[in-house]
Amino acid sequence: MNDQLATLREKRQRALEGGGQDRIDAQHAKGKLTARERLAILLDEGSFQELGALATHQNTNFGMDERHYPGDGVITGFGKIQGRRVAIFAQDFTVFGGSFSQVQSNKISRIQDLAIEAGIPLIGLNDSGGARVQEGIQSLAAYGEVFMRNVKASGVIPQISLIMGPCAGGAVYSPALTDITIMVDQTSNMFLTGPDIIKTVTGEEVTAEDLGGAYVHNVTSGVAQLIADNEQHALSLTKTLLGYLPQNNAEDPPQLEPYDPPDRMDEALNTIVPGDDRMAYDMRQLLTHVFDHGSTFELHRDFAPNALVGFARLGGSSIGFVANQPLALSGCLDIDASDKIARHITLCDQFNIPLITFVDCPGYLPGVEQEHRGVIRHGAKIIYAYCQATVPKISIVTRKAMGGSYVALSSRQMNNDVAYAWPSAQIAVMGAEGAARLLNRRAIAAAEDPAAEEARFVAEYKEKFFNPYQAADVGQIDEVIEPRETRTRLIRALEVLRTKVSQDVPKKHGLFPV
């Protein structure tokens, strides 16, 4: 028995050592932590229970029969984060460069299945050079097993991907199928085809960072939702993010003990919207006045900056927000903003997180490029997402709500539950100048002073339509409120809507406008 225990302890020790001290030193030299160091930071002390620590590959190709490491380059198991149970896997770059193998697939698939059955979040720490070439087609089939489970878990449990190093080829699809992707600046990248292949095929020369670094995917492509300064920051963001999400789709999001008075009114909100509707203001600043102090957690911050999405708290309750940002493109909706908003609506809906929409949008961004790239199709995603969402939905029109953007952004027709407007709201079919010319073209042309006549019609149109009261008269706006009352009104509305029951029409699924 003593010999058997000694053998077990030796194997466990080898698993803890990963690819050996030289490879660990090389990992540190790149400014990266090892897989086990990451787990030690992320998980509550002493909570990790490892599964599959002794699994090794059975591959005999290209000398692999002589190269065996317990765990085979991935660590899987269960643990706790701030007392909450999670399932987790962490690829170990010190073992075969974290290359994806049949054994890795079996271990990750196993933990995915257990996470779904237990109804707990799944966190993946990705750090891999790609498929293990020595295994050929088996490594590609192994990816498929993980992808299938990503889809199976989608909308059932939260899935969070951290890109802690390279993530190339087929490996990128798994993070893309999860709910939130966090990348580390300068040390992580994602791409389907690397710089060498691109140079061979197209002749373009590009670095891995410029091709698929954290900045690229957080600003340009929109593949990632968060960028971290370093690995410790990425792990900290993960802990914070989990605080807004439930364990699974059958539970409500975590409720904190209220620390910010629900009846707090902020006089600054009464003056935050400029009197001149041509002047911009910072919607982020507005949100900080409304939500619980320090609770705003923005996603996709640098992608499509004309729209803001993320999580926050009201009276301790987790909520999701969507808002136009007047400082960027005047808050217009375009292709990227539409995708960003629609995705966030769906994310909140699948995990029972109420949605609050702050509207200040002059319409969809005009232009040939937008039309040719499919702004109609992408804009329809917002409509589809709002109509499909069954969580409590509240809207506040702070200033402009023009044309189709008014309808799309959580209007009453989008199954919105409560619609508020500030006195500064302008709810109209189109802008005053365009409407005046369309409705009074002949009168303006026949006038002695066409410019003065046009200005008169513009003023008349603004007086009649550039306010929230006509919309309130016909029931499209439930209440016109003082801006300083916004926080209190939202909290009271959420209290009523907390027990909202959805009545879905039975069907297999609709056709999302992809």
| Domain residue limits at 394 | 267-425+467-497
Instruction: Choose between 154 and 278: higher pLDDT.
Output: 154
Helices (H), 326-479: 335-350, 368-372, 375-388, 403-408, 432-439, 441-446, 450-465, 469-473
pLDDT value of position 500: 84
Instruction: Assess if residue 450 is contained within a domain.
Output: no
Give the pLDDT score at 304: 97
The reply to whether 316 falls in a domain is yes
User: Which stretches of 96-226 are DSSP H helices?
Assistant: 102-118, 137-153, 173-176, 195-202, 208-212, 214-215
Q: Which of 207, 225, 242 is the last residue of a domain?
A: 242
Which residue type sits at 177?
L
Instruction: Output the pLDDT for position 138.
Output: 72
Query: For residue 356, is it within any domain?
Result: yes
- The mean pLDDT value for 477-501 works out to 94
Would you say residue 30 lies in a domain?
yes
Placement of tokens 């209290």 in the chain: 495
Q: Is the pLDDT of residue 60 over 60?
A: no
Question: What pLDDT is stored for residue 390 in this prediction?
Answer: 93
227 in the same domain as 284: no
Do residue 40 and residue 185 come from a single domain? yes
**398 and 357 in one domain?**
yes
Q: Are residues 77 and 125 in the same domain?
A: yes
Residues 345 and 485 in one domain: yes
Do 128 and 231 have their domain in common?
yes
Give the C-alpha separation, 77 to 124, whole Å: 11
Q: Looking at the predicted structure, is the pLDDT value of residue 395 above 60?
A: yes
- Give 312's strand partners: 319
Domain count, the chain: 2
351-364 per-residue burial string, b: 16 or more CB within 10 A, e: under 16? bbbbbbbbbbbbbb
Average pLDDT over residues 307-331: 97
In a domain, 435, yes or no: no
d(CA 508, CA 413): 23
Segment 415-458, tens digit of pLDDT:
899 999 999 998 887 777 777 777 777 777 777 777 777 777 77
Residue 166 lies in a domain: yes
Question: Which pLDDT belongs to residue 117?
Answer: 97
Residue 437 lies in a domain: no
Nearest to 385 by CA among 302, 320, 329: 320
| pLDDT per position as a tens digit, 102-117 | 788 889 999 999 999 9
Mean pLDDT over each residue of the chain, to the nearest integer? 89
Instruction: State residue 67's pLDDT score.
Output: 60
The pLDDT tens digits of the residues spanning 64-95 come to: 566 666 777 899 999 999 999 999 999 988 88
Angle at 380 between CA 371 and CA 483, to 5 degrees: 105
Q: Is the pLDDT of residue 488 over 60?
A: yes
Run of H or E including 189: strand 189-191
Instruction: Say yes or no: 221 and 303 in one domain.
Output: no
Boundary (domain end) residue, out of 242, 258, 289: 242
423: nearest Cα among 372, 484, 374, 347: 484
DSSP-H helix ranges across 2-87:
2-16, 21-29, 35-42
With a pLDDT cut of 70, the percent of the chain lying above it is 90
CA dihedral 328, 333, 334, 338 (to 10 degrees): 120
pLDDT at res. 504: 66
Residue 65 three-state SS: helix
Of the candidates 416, 408, 425, the one whose C-alpha atom is nearest the C-alpha of residue 471 is: 425
Residues 271 and 238 in one domain: no
> How many other C-beta atoms lie within 10 A of the C-beta of residue 207?
10
**Residue 454 domain flag:** no
Task: Write down the pLDDT at residue 507.
Answer: 63
pLDDT band at 136 (very low <50, low <70, confident <90, very high): low
Q: What is the pLDDT of residues 244-279, one digit of tens each?
A: 999 999 999 999 999 999 999 999 999 999 988 889
Indicate if 287 and 347 belong to the same structural domain. yes
In this structure, the answer to whether residues 238 and 271 fall within a common structural domain is: no
User: Which amino acid appears at position 277 of this protein?
Assistant: D
Q: How many residues does the chain have?
A: 514
Q: What is the reported pLDDT for 11?
A: 63
One domain for residues 309 and 388: yes
Coil, strand or helix at 493: helix
Alpha-carbon distances of 425 from 326, 359, 388, 421, 472, rounded to whole Å: 14, 9, 26, 6, 11
> DSSP letters of 15-35?
HHTTT-HHHHHHHHHTT---H
Tokens representing 460?
């008349």
Looking at the fold, whether 38 and 170 belong to one and the same domain comes out as: yes
The CATH number of residue 381's host domain is: 3.90.226.10
Cα gap 330→312, rounded to integer Å: 24
CA angle 327, 333, 335 (to 5 degrees): 120
Cα dist. 20→17, 164, 401 in Å? 6, 19, 61
In contact, 397 and 324? CB cutoff 8 Å: no
